[in-house]
Amino acid sequence: MQLLITAVLTFITIPVFIKKLGSENYGIFSIISIVGSVNVFANLGLNTSLIKFLAEQGKTKESDQDIIVTLLIVISLILPVTILFYYFGEFILRHIMNIPSGMFENAHHLYNYAIWANCLIFIGQTFSAILNSQQKIYLTNIIQLSYSIVYWGLLLVAVVLGYSLGNLGIVIFSAAAIWFSAIGLAAFKVWGKLDYSDCTKNLLNIARKQIKYGMNIYLSGVVNFFYEPLTRILISNFIGVREVGFFDIGSKIVGQIMGLSSKILYPFFPLFSNLSDSKKISFIVTDVQRKILFIIIPCIAIIIFIAKPFVNLWIGQNVGAISFTIIALGSANLLFSASVIPMYHFVTAKNRTDVMVYVQMANVIASGIIFFLTVRIFGYTAAILGNMTGIISGFALLTYYQKTLLTTYAFSSFNQLLKWIGILALSLIIAYVNTLILPTDILKVLIIPIIVCGAILLLFRYFNVFSKKDVNIYFGENGIANRIIMKLLISSNAELEENY
């Protein structure tokens, strides 16, 4: 629900923003929004550590001390960082973000509000960790959903009423303050009073314990900053702030798709955490990867053929650049990131977060090399090529670790590879034919996904791509989900043969 409402609000707000304030102002808004990513430099993986220790220890004196020490460390880290960003704001905006002089004043106002909003959000994440450790994730989600509604809703109203870019900062800070108050009150209501006694005696030991556990997670976050957020800074400096907006819009659409993929596959994280049988884990990781590729591949064909009509209907300007971004990043992320989510859950569940650090380093290095080698030749396209290369490099390294740690990987079967190529070719042909037949953009957006999915489902049923056993393993032997998936994927002949 949270993902859907946020997607709808984003979908409504972006075209209104661009229409009222222009593409260049949206690009400035996008690049200034990366100040939230700077949190990774002050995080130290503390929130993840806090969730782990509170869940293990329960409501004890030691847990109270963990909360107090985490809050002290977080505040002592983020306040100096925020003050430094405020003090050097003009330098950052002019020389790092490359904001045009004519737009500097409004950008500066927005930036100042954004960094203090970021400060509140950073401190408030400790309260989120308290709730999550007590299995109150639904509360965190409700408050986060409320924040999204307030943020995007007020932003939309402010843009419609004609407020300047600088005044939008008031909206950002107000939404952050409301969220901070709500998450703080909820955390202390669930947890109760904190015991401050003896906290100063154990301060160093507690801090050392939390930082030690969170360090790999911290390094992963720091490395990740040099991927997408740094890409926006590079685009602004080497190409232009308008193009930052194109990249941001494409990234938001792809982010919604990847967010949905992550939520669907998240149950494998606790499953791998509790499993110790390496052969069983190896089978599940590889089998799930192969199964989801059958679903991912038709989705890529759909994105390729509906991105342009969708952007034309949605925004109506700069269609070529934005649709190209969606197609390129969407296809690369689905094929080379979504397909390895099970492996990502495995290494995280088994505390091999060092693997993710190496994977993200491969992303960053490959992306940077390609960008700097090609930016003078291809311009904005260089940023997209760099990101795609980074994604593929991370995929290759994670596949290597899968082969090393689990002794198998999804692409080891030549027959499977032929099936995937066949499904991709068929999906592309069906989508292309419908593009030629359908006369309007709205029909293309509505009809092509239905036709492609329907044809591929028939193909799955006819060639028995999925079995009754597969459905029972991943959806349980009873329940509504099992019955629906059985009806969609398993033909009656295949079911009879399997039972026989």
- How would residue 407 be classed by pLDDT, with cut points 50, 70 and 90? confident
Residue 38, pLDDT above cutoff 70: no
pLDDT, tens digit (0-9, with 9 covering 90-100), for 152-170: 889 989 998 888 888 999 9
Residues in the chain: 500
Residue 421, pLDDT above cutoff 80: yes
Q: What integer is the mean pLDDT of 274-283?
A: 83
Which of 51-60, 203-212, 281-290, 307-316 comes out lowest in average pLDDT?
203-212
Residue 57, pLDDT above cutoff 90: no
pLDDT, tens digit (0-9, with 9 covering 90-100), for 186-241: 998 988 887 777 666 666 666 666 666 556 555 665 666 666 778 888 999 999 99
pLDDT, tens digit (0-9, with 9 covering 90-100), for 346-404: 887 777 777 888 888 888 899 999 999 999 999 999 999 999 999 999 999 999 999 99
- How would residue 71 be classed by pLDDT, with cut points 50, 70 and 90? confident
* Closest to 40 (Cα-Cα) out of 223, 172, 228: 223
- How would residue 40 be classed by pLDDT, with cut points 50, 70 and 90? low
Q: What integer is the mean pLDDT of 456-474?
A: 75
Of the ranges 130-134, 254-258, 327-331, the best mean pLDDT one: 327-331
* Closest to 136 (Cα-Cα) out of 191, 173, 88: 191
Structure tokens of 355?
A: 């693997």
CB 329 within 8 A of CB 258: no
For the chain, percent of residues with pLDDT exceeding 70:
86
Whole-number pLDDT of residue 496: 42
Which of 115-124, 279-288, 308-317, 470-479 comes out lowest in average pLDDT?
470-479
- How would residue 500 be classed by pLDDT, with cut points 50, 70 and 90? very low
Provide the mean pLDDT of the chain. 84
For the chain, percent of residues with pLDDT exceeding 90:
34
Q: What integer is the mean pLDDT of 37-56?
A: 65
* Closest to 229 (Cα-Cα) out of 373, 371, 32, 376: 32
CB 406 within 8 A of CB 285: yes
CB 305 within 8 A of CB 431: yes
Rounded to 5, what percent of the chain is helix, strand, coil?
Answer: 85, 0, 15
Whole-number pLDDT of residue 148: 87
φ, ψ for residue 166, nearest 5 deg? -65, -40
Whole-number pLDDT of residue 497: 46
CB 408 within 8 A of CB 286: yes
* Closest to 307 (Cα-Cα) out of 293, 297, 321, 294: 321
CB-based contacts of 186, cutoff 8 Å, min separation 6: 127, 131, 136, 139, 143
Whole-number pLDDT of residue 255: 87
Residue 438, pLDDT above cutoff 90: yes
